[in-house]
Amino acid sequence: MKISKRPNTLFEIAERSHSKEAFGYELADFEHEIARATSRRELSEGIQQEPRPLASRFEDGAIADTWLAALAELLAARYELNYPEWIWNADRFLREPQIHDAHSKKLKVWHILKSVTAFSRRNYFVDYQLPAIQLRRGRPRLPEAHKREMNRQRVARHRAKQKAS
């Protein structure tokens, strides 16, 4: 069994999504990944590249397109990032209003009343909360590969110095 890396960008979510269920799993994984973000740069990199449109790839793909655009808008607004241009494309808005998981009248009313603006402006009504993200001050975290390379160079310098002595 091959274990794949979680998506770090909305673009990666779209690339990996071949069905409504796969989209849901990839979106949940992305939410877990961005919760680990420590800088605005990391968050910005996750939303800037335009995801491939999903409307033609699977049933309810238009809703997935709307969801990606709304999520990018929410992240940009909350963490004071530049809004990506692609979120305003017409194909990122639903033509007809849709209510998420509305099995009863009370649920429909709930989603309409509690819907976040980024979703409702796109004709999709859902009660959605962004995952908590704790940005930290100071330098951004370095990738592990970079840390290993720097350590390898430091050890090589130390050994060369010992050899010369």
- Its pTM stands at 0.78
* H, E, C per residue of 19-88: CHHHHHHHHHHHHHHHCCCCCHHHHHHHHHCCCCCCCCCCCCHHHHHHHHHHHHHHHHHHCCCCCCHHHH
pLDDT, residue 100, reads 80
What secondary structure letter does DSSP report for 136?
A: -
The mean per-residue pLDDT over the stretch 86-93 comes to: 95
Q: Are the C-beta atoms of residues 89 and 53 closer than 8 Å to each other?
A: no
At 148, list the tokens: 């290993």
What confidence tens digit (pLDDT) does each residue in 101-151 have? 777 788 788 878 888 899 999 998 888 887 778 777 777 677 889 999 999
- Between CA 118 and CA 130 the distance in angstroms is 12
Mean pLDDT of the chain, nearest integer:
89
What confidence tens digit (pLDDT) does each residue in 131-141 have? 778 777 777 67
What confidence tens digit (pLDDT) does each residue in 26-55 have? 999 999 988 888 888 889 999 999 999 999
